[in-house]
Amino acid sequence: MLFKVVVGFLLFMIVMGAVQKWLNPKHRTPLDRLRSTKLPKPRKCKTCGRFLLGQDDCTCKDR
Q: Which residues contact 38 (CB under 8 A, 6 or more apart)?
A: none
Are the C-beta atoms of residues 43 and 54 closer than 8 Å to each other? Answer: no
Domains of the chain: which residue ranges?
2-61
* pLDDT confidence of residue 50: 87
pLDDT of 2 above 90: yes
**Confidence tier at 1 by pLDDT (50, 70, 90):** very high
How far is the C-alpha of 10 from the C-alpha of 15, rounded, in Å? Answer: 9
* pLDDT confidence of residue 36: 66
Q: What is the 3-state secondary structure (H, E, C) of 22-56?
A: HHCCCCCCHHHHHHHCCCCCCCECCCCCCECCCCC
Residue 1, SS3 per DSSP? coil
Q: Give the tens place of pLDDT for each residue, 3-43.
A: 999 999 999 999 998 888 888 777 667 777 677 667 788 88
